[in-house]
């Protein structure tokens, strides 16, 4: 089969410059589809030319998603070049998305239209995400100061106070969310391989960086107010905390890196693409 993937990558992409989840998704889907013998065309989301003919189209980037929804001419071009289904990769199951035939969700879908909203999941390649932990290290996701109407700012304050009081190394590539810069995929990979813990700072537990860190053997550490267990298709090894004392206890206990890694590796890009192919059948 022939696939068009709409993203902000071109065929001349450089993995050293990846700094967004849609870069990784496009790269991994393309690699696995090609491994199975399918042809994959990367369609740049800012390109207004007629895309090549294909059996199915998958929109991954936000720009591509928005153009299909809001630009009727572009949408007609995509439909004209697609023999089969027009699909959307979405990190939620919110909305109707009437312009798409299928919506591939990364979390468990509770949408009223389960035939259209299909769970496919996240994954991480174990050949890239390896365990190389030495000194006990915690990776801290970016602080979300002021986000969520500021109601979780006290969590970040406690987290900072506790980690600074312990004899533990910390890695925080981006201190505050959406400020200054994005960390590259290479930087994230290197940090995760060193980390015993991945401390979540955003609502929800099931994201690309979460599973990448867990595949390296990290234990996910999540405040109870940020926990959203209904989104978990197959929970990664994790511990919940509410108080400074609970967090301190978690960060001083031994970590079973291999057990965390083994559980995370039950998810794979092969399984993701299997679910996509089942939905398209």
100 shares a domain with 149:
no
- The CATH number of residue 69's host domain is 3.40.50
- The answer to whether position 131 is within a domain reads no
Same-domain pairing of 147 and 227? yes
Q: Indicate whether 130 belongs to any domain.
A: no
Token pair recorded at residue 20? 């967004």
My answer on whether 202 and 99 are in the same domain is no
Q: Please, what is the Cα angle at 23 between 187 and 51, to 5 degrees?
A: 160
Domain match, 184 and 215 both? yes
Instruction: Assess whether 118 and 219 both reside in one domain.
Output: no
CATH number for the domain including 203?
Answer: 3.40.50.2000
Residue 49 belongs to domain spanning = 2-123+268-280
The answer to the question of residue 117 being in a domain is yes
Q: Please report whether residue 129 resides in a domain.
A: no
Whether residue 159 is found in the same domain as residue 202: yes
**Full DSSP string of 192-248:** HHH-SEEE--SS-S--HHHHHHHHTTPEEEEEGGG--GGG-SSPPSEEEE-SHHHHH
Same domain, 105 and 147: no
Give the pLDDT of the chain (281 residues) as one tens digit per residue.
999 999 999 999 999 999 988 999 999 999 999 999 999 999 998 888 899 999 999 999 888 888 888 888 999 999 999 999 999 998 776 777 889 999 999 887 666 788 889 999 999 999 999 999 999 999 999 998 988 899 999 999 999 999 999 999 999 987 767 666 788 999 999 999 999 999 999 987 778 999 999 999 999 999 999 998 777 777 799 999 999 999 999 999 999 999 999 999 999 999 999 999 999 99
Shared domain check, 258 and 163: yes
pTM: 0.92
Specify the number of domains making up the chain.
2
Decide if 211 is inside a domain. Answer: yes
In a domain, 7, yes or no: yes
In this structure, the answer to whether residues 117 and 143 fall within a common structural domain is no
- Which among 90, 86, 88 has a CA at the least distance from the CA of 107? 90
Q: Which of 11, 71, 73, 68 is nearest to 43 (CA)?
A: 11
Regarding whether 217 and 117 lie in a shared domain, the answer is no
Cβ proximity of 237 and 261 under 8 Å: no
Whether residues 141 and 228 fall in one domain: yes
Q: What are phi and psi of 44, to 5 degrees?
A: -70, 130
Residues 117 and 203 in one domain: no
């Amino acid at each position: 089969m022939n696939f068009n993937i709409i993203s902000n990558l071109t065929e001349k992409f450089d993995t050293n410059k990846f700094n967004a989840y849609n870069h990784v998704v496009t790269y991994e889907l393309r690699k696995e589809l090609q491994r199975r013998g399918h042809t994959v065309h990367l369609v740049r989301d800012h390109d207004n030319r007629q895309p090549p003919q294909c059996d199915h189209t998958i929109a991954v980037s936000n720009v591509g998603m928005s153009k299909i929804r809001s630009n009727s001419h572009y949408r007609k071009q995509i439909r004209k070049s697609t023999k089969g289904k027009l699909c959307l990769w979405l990190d939620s199951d919110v909305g109707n998305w009437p312009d798409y035939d299928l919506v591939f969700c990364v979390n468990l879908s509770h949408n009223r239209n389960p035939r259209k909203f299909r769970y496919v999941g996240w994954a991480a390649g174990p050949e890239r995400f390896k365990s190389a932990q030495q000194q006990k290290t915690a990776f801290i996701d970016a602080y979300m100061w002021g986000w969520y109407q500021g109601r979780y700012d006290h969590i970040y304050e406690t987290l900072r106070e506790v980690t600074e009081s312990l004899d533990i190394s910390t890695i925080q590539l981006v201190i505050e969310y959406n400020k200054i810069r994005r960390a590259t995929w290479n930087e994230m990979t290197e940090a995760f391989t060193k980390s015993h813990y991945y401390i979540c700072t955003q609502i929800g537990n099931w994201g690309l960086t979460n599973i990448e860190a867990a595949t390296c053997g990290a234990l996910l550490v999540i405040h109870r107010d940020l926990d959203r267990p209904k989104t978990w298709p197959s929970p990664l090894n994790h511990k919940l905390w509410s108080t400074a004392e609970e967090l301190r206890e978690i960060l001083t206990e031994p970590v079973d890196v291999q057990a965390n890694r083994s559980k995370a590796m039950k998810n794979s890009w092969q399984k993701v693409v299997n679910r996509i192919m089942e939905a398209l059948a």
